[in-house]
Amino acid sequence: MSQDIVHDSLEAPLGSTAERQAVVGAAGAAPGQDWVIVTRGIKREYDMGGEVVRALRGVDVAIRRNEYVAIMGPSGSGKSTLMNVIGCLDTPNAGEYWLNGTQVSKMSDDALARVRNKEIGFVFQTFNLLPRASALHNVELPLVYAGVPGEERRRRAKEALERVQLGGRIDHRPNELSGGQRQRVAIARALVNNPSILLADEPTGNLDSATSEEIMKVFESLADQGQTVIMVTHEPDIAAHARRVIVLRDGMVHSDERRSTFVEKLGLPA
């Protein structure tokens, strides 16, 4: 399985390829403290009206705390499925998925809901804000499901909105905000419960390039502050913001390399 990892010597702080191979290879064993995500031979198949679609065919990924990783791939490569699995919205048919030292690949629906609530902050391409709720209420939602009492909930939601420079717009509804602002509300919502990972799915897909740049700066600064960020995208120039780029192809890891290598290969400006 480890042959799926395309070797590129990634040194500290990203850790070496050997280290990742070691942690991925130790099937059944809980990974160490600093590994946020470890997947071992994850497979996911769908039954589409009798035809079996093999979306993931054995994916091995190991991501440390504080990494900023982009998952790339053409459509049909399985990147959305991988994101759903990593985001605990879906469970694999085979293989292990360890999130923050806990194996979540065999959890029940409700247990997965807990994990999504506590460990994962989603940012979607289409923002996915509740249209009739204010920015504040949208950001409060994860805390509602975490059972945080009202006072503290509002305080923390306000803080999260201030972190994305939207402190002055807490009472606005999504349709009163620009695309960039909506996405920042979504980021605030993703961060409000202090998740282990921030999981962004094409976060700039619905934004113009200037606003995209602005959102990428937000991710940049979050990553600088130590937030683990995983971003799924099919745009190389967006992926190039991450410090490590995993490319999927046909449901398997095609390459896994640090940003400089990736940028060099694509001939993008560094």
Partner 1 sequence: MPFVEAIRLALQQIWVQKLKSFFTLLGVMIGVTFLIAVVSIVGGMSRYMTDQVVGKIMAVNSFELRHRPNINLGEMTEERWRELRRRPRIKESDIQPVTDALPPDVRWAAVGNDNLSAQSRYVAKPRQVNAFTVTDGYFDVKKMAPVSGRLFSPQEYERGMPVIVIGQDVANYFFPALDPVGRELVVRGIPYTVVGVMEKQGSAFGISFDKFIVAPHKSPINRYVNAHNVIDAIMIQTASREGLLSTMETVRQVMRARHHLRPSQKDDFELETSDSALEFWNKIKSYLVFAGVALPAIGLVVGAIVIMNIMLVAVAERTREIGIRKSLGARRRDIMSQFLVESATLSTVGAALGVATGFAFAKLIAAVTPLPAAVELWSVLVGIGIGAGVGIVAGVYPASRASRLDPITALRAE
- Identify the CA nearest to 139 among candidates 187, 70, 103: 187
Interhelix angle 109-119/135-146, rounded to 10 degrees, is 130
Q: Which tokens is 127 given?
A: 């923002």
Q: Does 87 bind partner 1 (CB under 8 A)?
A: yes
Q: Does 249 bind partner 1 (CB under 8 A)?
A: no
Strand 68-72, strand 244-249: pairing: parallel
Between residues 57 and 114, which has the closer beta carbon with respect to partner 1? 114
Contact code string over 89-108 relative to partner 1, x by CB under 8 A: xx------------------
Between residues 90 and 159, which has the closer beta carbon with respect to partner 1? 90
Q: Please, are residues 229 and 56 in contact by the beta-carbon 8 Å criterion?
A: no
Question: Which residue from 57, 114, 172, 234 is in contact with partner 1, where contact means CB under 8 A?
Answer: 114
- Residues touching partner 1, count (CB under 8 A): 25
Q: How far apart are CA 84 and CA 78, in angstroms?
A: 10
Q: Does 268 bind partner 1 (CB under 8 A)?
A: no
Beta-bridge mates of residue 135: none
Which of the stretches 51-59, 140-148, 176-184, 255-263 binds partner 1 when contact is defined by CB under 8 A? 140-148
Q: How far is the CB of 129 from partner 1 (least distance, A)?
A: 8
Overall size of the chain counted in residues: 270
Q: Please, are residues 239 and 265 in contact by the beta-carbon 8 Å criterion?
A: no
Footprint of partner 1 on this chain (CB under 8 A)?
84, 87, 89-90, 109-110, 113-114, 116-118, 122, 124, 128-130, 132, 141-142, 144-147, 189, 193
